Amino acid sequence: MDAGAPLDPRAQIAATVGPPLWLLAEITYRCPLHCAFCYNPTDFAATNDELGTDDWLRVLREARAAGSVQCAFSGGEPLLRDDLAVLVAEARRLGFYTNLLTSGVGLTEARASALKAAGLDHIQLSFQDSTRELNDFLSHTRTFDLKQRVAATIKANGWPMVMNCVIHRLNIDYIENIIDMAVELGAEYLELANSQYYSWALLNRDHLLPSREQIERAERITNERRRRYGERIRIFFVVPDYYETRPKKCMNGWGSVFLTVTPDGTALPCHTAKMLPGMSFPNVRGMGVREIWYDSPGFNRFRGDGWMQEPCRTCPEKEKDRGGCRCQAYLLAGDAAAVDPVCDKSPAHRKVLEAVERAQRPDVCAVREMPLIFRGPAESKRLI
C-alpha cells in the first residue's frame, strides 16, 4: 500500500471509532407498569413486530464479534419475553457481562432459577418510591409489595443488587426513606437518577421537575447518608441536566460506545434517537452489526466534529461534552445539530431557564388541573 495515500472514509472511521462496547437489548416495549417518566418513545404502540429469538441470538453473536462486552436486557419489561433465559445463556456463552433491568414483575422463583442457571451476572431492580402509596401511584400499578419480595429473591440467589429509583418532584422529598429502604433490602448500589426530560417525562415535565431547593436538600441528605452507611452501599445521585450550565457527554459521545437495538430491530446510538427528524437508522434484520456501527449514515451523523455549529465548533470544551445531547438539542432547540440548550452558551438556553423558573412557582408545583400522563398503549396510540 502507498504510505502516502489517504485512507478511504471507511478505514478512517474504523481507525478513530472504537467498538460498540455496550449493547442495550431492548427486547420488548411491552410493560405491565405505566410510569409517568418512562424513557420509551411515546409512540411505542406503533412497534408491534418484535424480533424473534433467532434474530436476537444473531444480534448477540454479531455484537460480540464487533467487540461488545456488556449486554443489558431491557424493555419495557424484559421478563415478559419467555425466551429471556435463552438469550442470557447465549450472551454469557459468548462472553458478555450480562445485566437485567427490570421492574421485578415476573421475576418468580422459577424465573430467577432459570436466569441463574443461564449465568445472569447482575440485576437492576427499579422502585418508584419507599412507600406503597407513591410507588403504586407513580407506576399506576400495585407493585410495591412484589418489588420487596423480588429484592429478597435477588439476594437469595446471590446476585449483586442495584436498586434504581428515578427521582423527581413527587418523590425527592422522601429521599432519606428511599436510601434507608435500599439499605434494609440489602442493595449494594443505589442509583438515584433524577428524571431526564425526554419521552413521557417531557410530557409530564411540569409535574416532575424539582425545584432547586429540593435538589439541594436531596444532595445534602444523600451525602449525610453516604457518611452514615459507609461501605454498606454505594449511592449515585444524578442531578437533572436542567440545573447544569454545561451539558453532559450524552451516551459518552454519539456512536462511540453505546449501541441500542429496539424491539423491532432498529439500531440506534441512543434509545430516543429514532424521533430525530431527517435521520434514518438501520435495522438488524437487514444489516449486520459491524456494518451498522461503522458504515451507517445514522451512526456517523454526529461523530467527529464536522457536524458542529457555533458555539461548539470553536469551544475549548467541545471534546469534554461533545456538544451535549442530540435529542435534547432537537427537543428544546428544534435542531439536532445545535448545541444542547443546557449549555449556557446556547441561544436556546432560556428554554431551560424558563422550565427551571416554572419549577420554583408554587402554582405550577400544584398542577392539579393538568393530570399526569401515564405511559400506556392507549395513550401512546393517541400520541402517534
Residues that constitute the known binding site: 31, 35, 38
Asked if residues 40 and 277 have their Cβ atoms less than 8 Å apart, the reply is no
Residue 308 is a binding residue for ligand FES (CB under 6 A): no
- Residue closer to ligand FES by CB (options 270, 289) is 270
User: If binding means CB under 6 A, how many residues of this protein chain bind ligand FES?
Assistant: 8
- Cβ distance to ligand FES smaller for residue 104 or 298: 298
Question: Which position among 27, 251, 312, 343 is part of the footprint of ligand FES (CB under 6 A)?
Answer: 251
Site for ligand FES in 188-217 (CB under 6 A): none
On whether the CB atoms of residues 197 and 222 are closer than 8 A, the answer is: no
Helix (H), strand (E), coil (C) string for 256-314: CCEEEECCCCEEECCCCHHHCCCCCCCECCCCCHHHHHHHCHHHHCCCCCCCCCCCCCC
Hey, is 22 helix, strand or coil? Answer: strand
Q: From CA 243, how far away is CA 144, in angstroms rounded? A: 30
Task: Please say which residue, 179 or 325, places its beta carbon nearer to ligand FES.
Answer: 325
Say if residues 339 and 351 touch (Cβ distance below 8 Å).
Answer: no
Query: Binding ligand FES by CB under 6 A: which of 270, 289, 292, 359?
Result: 270
**338 is an interface residue for ligand FES by CB under 6 A:** no
Stretch that binds ligand FES, among 127-135, 149-157, 202-210, 322-330 (CB under 6 A): 322-330
**Gap between the Cα atoms of 178 and 192, Å rounded:** 9
**Which span (12-20, 120-128, 151-159, 266-274) binds ligand FES, by CB under 6 A?**
266-274
End-to-end CA distance of the chain: 52
Q: Which residues are annotated as a binding site for [4Fe-4S] cluster?
A: 31, 35, 38
Q: Which CB, 85 or 202, lies closer to ligand FES?
A: 202
How far is it, in rounded angstroms, from Cα 272 to Cα 260? 9
Residue 70, Cβ neighbours under 10 Å: how many?
A: 16
Gap between the Cα atoms of 9 and 4, Å rounded: 15
225 makes contact with ligand FES (CB under 6 A)? no
Binding mask 142-171 for ligand FES (x = CB under 6 A): ------------------------------
Query: Residue 20: exposed, middle, or buried by beta-carbon count in 10 A (0-12, 13-18, 19+)?
Result: buried
- The only residue of 112, 125, 325, 343 in contact with ligand FES, by rule CB under 6 A: 325
Q: What are phi and psi of 371, to 5 degrees?
A: -65, 150
At closest approach, how far in Å is the CB of 293 from ligand FES?
16
Q: Give the residue among 117, 31, 37 at the shortest CA–CA distance from 74.
A: 31
| Range in contact with ligand FES (rule: CB under 6 A) among 79-87, 169-177, 214-222, 270-278 | 270-278
Closest distance to ligand FES from the beta carbon of 227 (Å): 33
Q: Is 261 in the site for ligand FES (CB under 6 A)?
A: no
Please tell me whether residue 272 binds ligand FES under the rule CB under 6 A: yes
Q: Which is nearer to ligand FES, 104 or 341 (CB)?
A: 341
Closest to ligand FES by CB, 175 or 325: 325
Contact between 250 and ligand FES by CB under 6 A: the answer reads yes
**Nearest approach, Cβ of residue 348 and ligand FES (Å):** 16
Strand-pair partners of 72: 24, 99
H or E element, residue 225: helix 212-229
Q: Coil, strand, or helix at residue 14?
A: helix
Among 34, 81, 147, 326, binds ligand FES (CB under 6 A): 326
With cell 418532584, the residue in question is: 169
Near ligand FES by CB under 6 A: residue from 38, 105, 215, 327: 327
Under 8 Å between Cβ of 364 and 358 = yes
Closer residue to ligand FES (CB): 210 or 298: 298
The Cα–Cα gap between 139 and 246 comes to: 31
**Angstrom distance (rounded) from CA 27 to CA 46:** 15
Decide whether 250 or 261 has the Cβ nearer to ligand FES: 250
**Residue-by-residue DSSP string for 342-366:** TSTTSTTHHHHHHHHHHHH-HHHHT
For binding to ligand FES (CB under 6 A), which residues are involved?
250-251, 270, 272-273, 325-327
